[in-house]
A and B are shown apart, each in its own frame.
Chain A
Amino acid sequence: MATFSRFQRTFGRYRPPPILPTTIRTIQILATLHLISTTLIELRICTGFSMLPTLSQHGDCVLVSPLPYWSPFTEKHKERRPKRGDVVVATSPMDPHQTVCKRILGIEGDMIEIEPRRGGQRKWIDNSGTGYMVDIPNSDDIELQGHNPDEHISHSYNSKNGLSIKRNGEGQWIKIPKGHVWLVGDNLSNSTDSRKYGPVPIAMVKGKVLARIYPNPTWLENNVKHIEADV
Chain B
Amino acid sequence: MSKAGHFFQQKGVRDAFRILAWVPVGIFFTRHIYSLASVTGGSMQPTFNPNLSSSPLHHDVVLLERWSIAVNRFRRGDVVTLWSPQNPDLLTTKRIVALEGDLVNPLPPSPPTPIRVPPGHCWVEGDSKYQTRDSNTYGAIPLGLITSRVAYILWPWPRRGIVDNELPTKSKGRVKTLGQNFLQSKFGE
The answer to whether A201 touches B142 (Cβ under 8 A) is yes
Q: Does B21 contact A (CB under 8 A)?
A: yes
The answer to whether A93 touches B85 (Cβ under 8 A) is no
The answer to whether A28 touches B25 (Cβ under 8 A) is yes
Residue of chain B at shortest CB distance from A204 = B144
The answer to whether A32 touches B24 (Cβ under 8 A) is yes
Q: Which of A77, A92, A177, A204 contacts B89 (CB 8 A)?
A: A77
Q: Does A13 contact B (CB under 8 A)?
A: no
Q: Does A116 contact B (CB under 8 A)?
A: no
Q: Does A35 contact B (CB under 8 A)?
A: yes
With contacts defined as CB atoms under 8 Å apart, how many contacts are there between chain A and chain B in the complex?
69
Q: Which of A31, A92, A94, A201 contacts B83 (CB 8 A)?
A: A201
Q: Given the known A-B contacts A31-B24, A34-B24, are A179 and B120 also in contact in the complex, defined by CB atoms under 8 Å? A: no
The answer to whether B25 touches A96 (Cβ under 8 A) is no
**Interface size, B (range):** 20 to 34
Residue of chain A at shortest CB distance from B118 = A197
Contacts of A202 in B (CB 8 A): 88
Q: Does A212 contact B (CB under 8 A)?
A: no
- Identify which of B25, B83, B121 gathers the most chain A CB atoms within 10 Å of its CB: B25
A27 to B138, CA, bound (A): 41
**Interface size, A (range):** 20 to 34
The answer to whether B86 touches A179 (Cβ under 8 A) is yes
Per-residue contact bits, chain A 45-89, to B (CB 8 Å; 1 contact, 0 not)? 000000000000000000000000000001001000100000000
Q: Does A2 contact B (CB under 8 A)?
A: no
Q: Does B115 contact A (CB under 8 A)?
A: no
Q: Given the known A-B contacts A28-B22, A35-B27, A96-B120, are A177 and B86 also in contact in the complex, defined by CB atoms under 8 Å? A: yes
Contacts of A35 in B (CB 8 A): 24, 27-28
Contacts of B28 in A (CB 8 A): 31, 34-35
A142 to B72, CA, bound (A): 53
Question: B interface vs A, CB < 8 Å?
Answer: 21-22, 24-25, 27-28, 31, 72, 83-89, 118-121, 138, 141-146
Which 8 pairs between the two chains have the least Cβ-Cβ distance? A91-B144, A203-B83, A202-B88, A31-B24, A93-B142, A96-B143, A201-B85, A94-B120
Given contacts A177-B86, A179-B85, A200-B142, 4 further A-B contacts (CB under 8 A): A77-B89, A96-B144, A201-B83, A201-B88
Question: A interface vs B, CB < 8 Å?
Answer: 27-28, 31-32, 34-35, 38, 74, 77, 81, 91-97, 177-180, 197, 200-204
30 contacts between A and B (CB under 8 A): A27-B25, A31-B24, A31-B28, A32-B21, A32-B24, A34-B28, A38-B31, A77-B88, A77-B89, A91-B144, A92-B120, A93-B120, A93-B121, A94-B118, A96-B120, A96-B142, A96-B143, A97-B72, A177-B86, A178-B87, A179-B85, A180-B85, A197-B118, A200-B142, A201-B86, A201-B88, A201-B141, A201-B145, A203-B85, A204-B144
